[in-house]
Amino acid sequence: MKKKYPDTLPDIQIIEEKDKRLRLKSKDVTFPLPDEDIKRIHDMLDYLEMSQVPEICEKFNMRAGMGLAYIQLGIAKRIFVIVYEVEEGVFERYVVVNPKVKSTSEEMVYIEEGEGCLSINRPTTGIVPRHARMKLIAYDEYGEQYELRVREELAVAFQHELDHLDGILFTDKIDSKNPFKGKDIYRSI
C-alpha cells in the first residue's frame, strides 16, 4: 500500500549559502526540548521524506534532500535530521541532537556524482573527502541517548550535517585549484 502524504509541505524555510548564519557554530541544547523544537524536527523529517518521493518532488518543485541541520533554518542549535531511503518508498529517519563523534575509519570515500546541499542552489563539482565509516553518540528529540555506526552514503550524510553544525559547507572541502584532487586515492561510492 502506497503511503499517503499531506497536500501541503511542512513549513520549512531553508536559508541559502549567502546567509551568514550558515557559518555560525551551533550550540548544544538541553532537555527537555520545547514542543516547538520537537514539532520542527518532525516537520524537517517529513519535508525530507517528501522531497525524496518523485511525484511530490515534482508537484512542489522541490530538490531532493537527505539531511537538514537546524542552522539551515537559521537556528544555531546542534540538531540535524537525516532521512535515508533504504528501498523504494521505505525510509529510515534519524534525529541527531548534540552529537559527538566516537571514531572514524581511516578509509576515505567520496560521492561520485558529487555532494549537494539544500542551502546551495548552484551546480558544484569536485571531490569532498569523507570517512567511509563512523561511530557517534547522540540523543533523540526526547533526550534518549544512543550510539550509532554508519557507513558509506549514510556516513557521508552524517559528516555533511555534522559540518553544518560547525559552520562548514561541503564546498569548503573541495580543493579550489584542483577540484578532483584525491580521485586516485579515495574510493568513490
CA gap 110, 131 in Å, rounded: 8
Q: Is 161 a catalytic residue?
A: yes
Looking at the DSSP bridge assignments, the partners of residue 123 are: none
Cα–Cα distances (Å) from 17 to 53, 154, 181, in that order, read 25, 23, 24
Which residue of the set 49, 115, 141, 161 is catalytic? 161
Q: Match 581511516 to its residue by C-alpha cell.
A: 106
Residues in the chain: 189
DSSP designation for 27: B
Return the C-alpha cell found at 1.
500500500
Catalytically annotated residues: 161
